[in-house]
Amino acid sequence: MDPRKLSLADRIIGEIDKAINVLSAPARARRESPEGPAGDGTLNDAERKESCRLMRVNHAGEVSAQGLYRGQALTARDPAVAAAMQSAADDETDHLAWCESRLRELQGRTSLLNPLWYAGSFTIGALAGALGDRTSLGFIGETERQVESHLRDHLSRLPAADERSRAILEQMRHDESLHGEKATSMGGARLPLALTLAMRLTSRLMTRGSYWV
Protein backbone atom coordinates (compact mmCIF):
# COMPACT_ATOMS: atom_id res chain seq x y z
CA MET A 1 0.00 0.00 0.00
CA ASP A 2 1.27 3.46 -0.86
CA PRO A 3 1.98 5.67 2.14
CA ARG A 4 -0.72 8.20 2.95
CA LYS A 5 -0.17 11.54 1.31
CA LEU A 6 0.27 14.09 4.04
CA SER A 7 -1.93 17.15 4.06
CA LEU A 8 -0.51 20.64 4.63
CA ALA A 9 -1.81 20.51 8.22
CA ASP A 10 -0.02 17.19 8.78
CA ARG A 11 3.22 18.64 7.43
CA ILE A 12 2.95 21.75 9.59
CA ILE A 13 2.42 19.59 12.69
CA GLY A 14 5.48 17.60 11.67
CA GLU A 15 7.51 20.79 11.35
CA ILE A 16 6.42 21.93 14.82
CA ASP A 17 7.60 18.59 16.20
CA LYS A 18 10.90 18.98 14.35
CA ALA A 19 11.37 22.49 15.76
CA ILE A 20 10.78 21.25 19.31
CA ASN A 21 13.37 18.51 18.79
CA VAL A 22 15.97 20.89 17.36
CA LEU A 23 15.51 23.37 20.20
CA SER A 24 15.17 21.01 23.16
CA ALA A 25 16.65 17.58 22.40
CA PRO A 26 20.38 16.79 22.08
CA ALA A 27 21.35 16.67 18.41
CA ARG A 28 22.56 13.30 17.08
CA ALA A 29 25.23 13.29 14.40
CA ARG A 30 25.42 10.67 11.65
CA ARG A 31 29.14 11.31 11.24
CA GLU A 32 31.87 11.31 13.84
CA SER A 33 33.00 14.72 15.02
CA PRO A 34 36.17 15.85 13.21
CA GLU A 35 39.20 14.84 15.22
CA GLY A 36 41.66 17.37 16.53
CA PRO A 37 43.79 17.64 19.66
CA ALA A 38 41.73 19.13 22.45
CA GLY A 39 44.28 21.69 23.57
CA ASP A 40 42.03 22.49 26.52
CA GLY A 41 44.89 22.24 28.98
CA THR A 42 46.64 25.20 27.37
CA LEU A 43 43.57 27.41 27.03
CA ASN A 44 43.51 30.11 29.67
CA ASP A 45 40.21 31.39 31.00
CA ALA A 46 39.97 34.28 28.52
CA GLU A 47 40.69 31.97 25.58
CA ARG A 48 38.14 29.40 26.75
CA LYS A 49 35.48 32.10 27.03
CA GLU A 50 36.26 33.37 23.53
CA SER A 51 36.05 29.84 22.11
CA CYS A 52 32.72 29.37 23.91
CA ARG A 53 31.31 32.55 22.41
CA LEU A 54 32.45 31.70 18.89
CA MET A 55 31.14 28.13 19.07
CA ARG A 56 27.85 29.41 20.52
CA VAL A 57 27.48 31.63 17.46
CA ASN A 58 28.19 28.68 15.18
CA HIS A 59 25.70 26.53 17.04
CA ALA A 60 23.07 29.26 16.64
CA GLY A 61 23.92 29.40 12.95
CA GLU A 62 23.22 25.69 12.64
CA VAL A 63 19.90 26.10 14.46
CA SER A 64 19.07 28.78 11.90
CA ALA A 65 20.16 26.50 9.06
CA GLN A 66 17.79 23.80 10.28
CA GLY A 67 14.90 26.26 10.22
CA LEU A 68 15.90 27.64 6.82
CA TYR A 69 16.18 24.29 5.09
CA ARG A 70 13.04 22.89 6.69
CA GLY A 71 11.07 25.96 5.63
CA GLN A 72 12.36 25.71 2.06
CA ALA A 73 11.63 21.98 1.86
CA LEU A 74 8.07 22.64 3.02
CA THR A 75 7.28 24.99 0.15
CA ALA A 76 9.53 23.52 -2.59
CA ARG A 77 7.63 22.61 -5.74
CA ASP A 78 10.06 20.12 -7.27
CA PRO A 79 10.44 16.92 -5.20
CA ALA A 80 14.14 16.79 -6.17
CA VAL A 81 14.66 20.25 -4.68
CA ALA A 82 12.80 19.28 -1.50
CA ALA A 83 14.97 16.16 -1.20
CA ALA A 84 18.14 18.24 -1.65
CA MET A 85 17.00 20.60 1.10
CA GLN A 86 16.31 17.72 3.45
CA SER A 87 19.70 16.14 2.67
CA ALA A 88 21.44 19.43 3.44
CA ALA A 89 19.46 19.68 6.69
CA ASP A 90 20.84 16.27 7.67
CA ASP A 91 24.41 17.56 7.21
CA GLU A 92 23.51 20.62 9.28
CA THR A 93 22.31 18.27 12.05
CA ASP A 94 25.85 16.88 12.19
CA HIS A 95 27.18 20.41 12.52
CA LEU A 96 24.62 21.16 15.22
CA ALA A 97 25.67 18.09 17.22
CA TRP A 98 29.38 18.83 16.85
CA CYS A 99 29.02 22.44 18.03
CA GLU A 100 26.78 21.34 20.90
CA SER A 101 29.30 18.74 22.04
CA ARG A 102 32.20 21.17 21.79
CA LEU A 103 30.32 23.73 23.85
CA ARG A 104 29.87 21.15 26.60
CA GLU A 105 33.60 20.37 26.52
CA LEU A 106 34.33 24.08 26.87
CA GLN A 107 31.77 24.36 29.70
CA GLY A 108 29.76 26.81 27.62
CA ARG A 109 26.06 27.12 26.80
CA THR A 110 23.89 27.55 23.75
CA SER A 111 22.24 30.87 22.83
CA LEU A 112 19.07 31.80 24.68
CA LEU A 113 17.86 33.34 21.42
CA ASN A 114 17.81 30.05 19.48
CA PRO A 115 13.98 29.84 19.33
CA LEU A 116 13.94 33.27 17.68
CA TRP A 117 16.63 32.30 15.17
CA TYR A 118 14.83 29.07 14.24
CA ALA A 119 11.42 30.69 13.82
CA GLY A 120 12.79 33.58 11.79
CA SER A 121 14.85 31.32 9.54
CA PHE A 122 11.96 28.91 8.99
CA THR A 123 9.74 31.80 7.93
CA ILE A 124 12.38 33.18 5.57
CA GLY A 125 12.99 29.72 4.12
CA ALA A 126 9.29 29.08 3.54
CA LEU A 127 8.91 32.46 1.82
CA ALA A 128 11.98 31.82 -0.36
CA GLY A 129 10.58 28.44 -1.37
CA ALA A 130 7.21 29.98 -2.18
CA LEU A 131 8.92 32.34 -4.65
CA GLY A 132 9.99 29.38 -6.74
CA ASP A 133 12.66 26.71 -6.70
CA ARG A 134 15.26 28.72 -8.64
CA THR A 135 14.96 31.60 -6.18
CA SER A 136 15.07 29.19 -3.26
CA LEU A 137 18.20 27.50 -4.59
CA GLY A 138 19.79 30.89 -5.27
CA PHE A 139 19.02 31.84 -1.68
CA ILE A 140 20.87 28.73 -0.49
CA GLY A 141 23.84 29.46 -2.72
CA GLU A 142 24.17 33.00 -1.36
CA THR A 143 23.58 31.86 2.23
CA GLU A 144 26.36 29.30 1.99
CA ARG A 145 28.77 31.85 0.49
CA GLN A 146 28.12 34.12 3.44
CA VAL A 147 28.47 31.22 5.91
CA GLU A 148 31.84 30.29 4.39
CA SER A 149 33.04 33.86 4.89
CA HIS A 150 31.76 33.82 8.47
CA LEU A 151 33.56 30.54 9.20
CA ARG A 152 36.83 31.85 7.77
CA ASP A 153 36.53 34.82 10.12
CA HIS A 154 35.94 32.56 13.11
CA LEU A 155 38.87 30.32 12.16
CA SER A 156 41.10 33.39 12.27
CA ARG A 157 39.70 34.45 15.66
CA LEU A 158 39.87 31.11 17.47
CA PRO A 159 42.63 30.83 20.08
CA ALA A 160 45.63 29.12 18.47
CA ALA A 161 45.53 26.27 21.01
CA ASP A 162 41.89 25.36 20.30
CA GLU A 163 42.57 22.80 17.60
CA ARG A 164 39.45 20.75 18.34
CA SER A 165 37.12 23.65 17.54
CA ARG A 166 39.24 24.46 14.50
CA ALA A 167 38.84 20.92 13.11
CA ILE A 168 35.05 21.17 13.50
CA LEU A 169 34.83 24.54 11.76
CA GLU A 170 37.07 23.39 8.90
CA GLN A 171 34.78 20.42 8.19
CA MET A 172 31.73 22.64 8.44
CA ARG A 173 33.26 25.06 5.94
CA HIS A 174 33.89 22.18 3.52
CA ASP A 175 30.30 20.95 3.83
CA GLU A 176 28.81 24.42 3.37
CA SER A 177 30.85 24.90 0.20
CA LEU A 178 29.40 21.68 -1.22
CA HIS A 179 25.86 22.78 -0.33
CA GLY A 180 26.35 26.07 -2.14
CA GLU A 181 27.84 24.40 -5.22
CA LYS A 182 24.98 21.90 -5.39
CA ALA A 183 22.35 24.63 -5.14
CA THR A 184 24.01 26.55 -7.97
CA SER A 185 24.33 23.42 -10.14
CA MET A 186 20.61 22.70 -9.67
CA GLY A 187 19.74 26.06 -11.24
CA GLY A 188 19.89 28.57 -8.40
CA ALA A 189 19.14 32.09 -9.60
CA ARG A 190 21.35 35.07 -8.81
CA LEU A 191 19.69 37.18 -6.12
CA PRO A 192 19.14 40.96 -6.31
CA LEU A 193 21.81 43.02 -4.55
CA ALA A 194 19.26 44.48 -2.12
CA LEU A 195 18.27 40.99 -0.93
CA THR A 196 21.92 39.95 -0.59
CA LEU A 197 22.63 42.99 1.58
CA ALA A 198 19.55 42.30 3.70
CA MET A 199 20.77 38.73 4.25
CA ARG A 200 24.14 40.04 5.43
CA LEU A 201 22.49 42.44 7.85
CA THR A 202 20.33 39.66 9.29
CA SER A 203 23.38 37.41 9.65
CA ARG A 204 25.23 40.12 11.59
CA LEU A 205 22.28 40.55 13.93
CA MET A 206 22.22 36.83 14.66
CA THR A 207 26.00 36.66 15.07
CA ARG A 208 26.24 39.55 17.50
CA GLY A 209 23.19 38.52 19.48
CA SER A 210 24.37 34.94 19.93
CA TYR A 211 27.91 35.99 20.83
CA TRP A 212 26.63 37.60 24.04
CA VAL A 213 23.23 36.04 24.79
Amino acid identity of residue 113, one-letter, is L
For the question of whether the overall pTM of this predicted structure is more than 0.95, the answer is: no
What share of the chain in percent tops pLDDT 70?
94
Q: Work out whether the CA dihedral 78, 202, 65, 121 comes out positive or negative.
A: negative
Under the banding of pLDDT at 50, 70 and 90, the label for residue 24 is confident
Q: Which residue has the higher pLDDT, 161 or 80?
A: 161
pLDDT, tens digit (0-9, with 9 covering 90-100), for 111-160? 999 999 999 889 888 888 888 888 888 888 888 888 999 999 999 999 99
pLDDT score recorded for residue 37: 59
How far is it, in rounded angstroms, from Cα 26 to Cα 109? 13
Sketch out the chain's domains with CATH numbers.
41-212 (1.20.1260.10)
pLDDT score recorded for residue 181: 87
Nearest in space to 61 (alpha carbons), one of 127, 126, 114: 114
